Amino acid sequence: MKLLHTSDWHLGKKLYKVELRQEHALFFDWLLQTIVDYEVEVLLVSGDVFDTAYPSQESLEAYYRFLAQLIKVSCKVIVTGGNHDSPYTLNAPSELLQHLDITVLGGLEQDRTTQLVPVYNAHHDLELVVAAVPFLRDQDLILEGPEDTQEERAQQVVDGILGHYRYLAGECASKYPGVPAIAMGHLFAKGVTTSDTEKNIQVGNLGAIDALDLPDYFRYYALGHIHKPQWVGGLDFVRYCGAPVPLSFSEAHYAREVLLIDTSRQLEYQGRYTYVPASIPVPEFRKLIRLHGNLDAIAEQLKEISASALPALVDLEIHESGSASLLQQKVFAFIKDHQRPEYLVANRKIISEDASISEQVALEHTIDSIAPEQVFELLLQQQVPSQQESLRALFLELNQIVQAELKEQEKIRFRENTSN
């Protein structure tokens, strides 16, 4: 039996103001053809299907359109939720999808054994069991005893995650004795390489797992959460397949892949059988390019850009002298004059030795590239010092109210989209 491991699609993701909808569409076309070419029987999606808990109508349509195409090629699908996904959003159509041989586990259910998914071959024989573990939030874990420090809390989270996998390994051995098993997961492991889009991935899940502590019952761990493809702990059967499209300019140099598991090919590791996957490179649908220098140097660099399937996205760091207002106008005119079909300027940062501190901040950031808190702190510096603390407290209170209202509006939009 052949299985394909992918994760971290992040449908709905934007790079600055540029939507990645086109590259996701090209990826789905490629993925469907890959499934056909390699005669894949099971597709594993290890979390972060969407970039937000309340995805847009376009993102939902892209997801369900792809699932519908998989039905035509008789490929079983197992989808687990990630930390970016809403369990409710993923689980909403799960009963219907189950009849189409698509299993979705958006979050942890009360009966943890529902995560054990039996997989049958073309002859209707039980071939494999998949422990389809979604992202485990702190409230999902059984934490024992009080904790006094953040380190103790982190250790309890680690113990809870490992305990969850050990429980499933025991249940799997009991319910399906002698049947090979693999596990899915959306978690953070020690020693992995991350990008700037993953700086906060441990929020709500403080512990970092040591791959050597995972139960050796499972022959392969299909992991998601980290966007760079990599082994974990030197074990080639514990793998992050990575994100299929770059989600930030810091990820532009990553190779892209999906991982093919063939259950007829087993390797022995310390007295146990494991499945070592084969890498299938994902094509580069769009280049992400960072350029820096003065405007003359950047103009020459722009001439060298060639497009992939889609126009390249360019991030500019411009070093020029002059006042902030004049530089803004000069750069705006430069970008307008240097528009080409081969690329699109997604972001620009201007660095000037002549600008004051406040002018430099304005030059380096567009208003949508910095958080509301950062904008407020810049304005706060212009106020009387004795008033700053009271103003900051008032802002934080108002900001919490605004963020709560925005989340409620997102929920309303999601309900309206799903009811149409």
Helix/strand/coil (H/E/C) assignment for every residue in 137-182: CHHHCCCCCCCCCHHHHHHHHHHHHHHHHHHHHHHHHHHCCCCCEE
Residue 212 falls inside a structural domain:
yes
Same domain, 211 and 95: yes
Say yes or no: 112 and 86 in one domain. yes
What confidence score (pLDDT) does residue 151 get? 75
Question: Over pLDDT 70: what percentage of the chain?
Answer: 83
Q: If you write DSSP's letter for every residue of 189-215 in order, what string do you get?
A: BTT----GGGTTTTTT----B-GGGS-
Q: What is the CATH number of the domain that holds 242?
A: 3.60.21.10
Are 296 and 226 in the same domain? no
Indicate the pTM of the whole model: 0.83
Q: Please write the tens of the pLDDT for every residue from 244-300.
A: 999 999 999 989 999 999 999 999 998 899 999 999 999 999 999 999 999 999 999
- The pair phi, psi for residue 262, each rounded to 5°, is -115, 110
pLDDT at 391 over 70: yes
- The reply to whether 29 falls in a domain is yes
Q: Which range marks the domain in which residue 243 is found?
A: 2-281
The pLDDT tens digits of the residues spanning 38-73 come to 999 999 999 999 999 989 999 999 999 999 999 999
133-174: pLDDT as tens digits: 999 987 787 666 666 677 777 788 888 999 999 999 999 999
- Residues 313 and 182 occupy one common structural domain: no
Structure letter (DSSP) for residue 277: P
CB 228 within 8 A of CB 240: yes
Q: What is the pLDDT of residues 111-127, one digit of tens each?
A: 999 999 999 998 899 99
| Same domain? 167 vs 103 | yes
Tell me the mean pLDDT in the region 188-207. 62
Lookup: tokens for 238: 């514990």
pLDDT tens, position by position, 199-253 = 444 433 456 889 999 999 999 999 999 999 999 988 999 999 999 999 999 999 9
**Is the alpha carbon torsion for 64, 70, 74, 77 positive or negative?**
negative
Same domain, yes or no: 292 and 215: no
Q: Look at residue 376 and tell me if it is in a domain.
A: no
214 part of a folded domain = yes
Number of domains in the chain: 3
Residues 211 and 93 in one domain: yes
Domain boundary pick from 263, 281, 299: 281
Show which of 281, 315, 335 is a domain's final residue. Answer: 281
Q: Residue 420 has which token pair?
A: 């149409």
Give residue 205's pLDDT. Answer: 41
Residue 10 burial by CB count (10 A; 0-12/13-18/19+): exposed, middle or buried? buried
CA dihedral for 19, 10, 12, 65, sign (positive or negative):
positive
Residue at 377 is within a domain = no
Is residue 375, in this structure, part of any structural domain at all? no
**In the predicted model, is pLDDT for residue 359 greater than 60?**
no
**Is there a single domain that holds both residue 105 and residue 219?**
yes
| 372-380 vs 385-419: helix crossing angle, rounded to 10 | 160
Tell whether 248 and 321 lie within a shared domain.
no
Shared domain for 216 and 361, answered yes or no, is: no
Pick from 281, 312, 347: which residue ends a domain?
Answer: 281
Q: Identify whether residues 358 and 413 lie together within a single domain.
A: no
Judgement on whether residues 266 and 123 belong to the same structural domain of the protein? yes
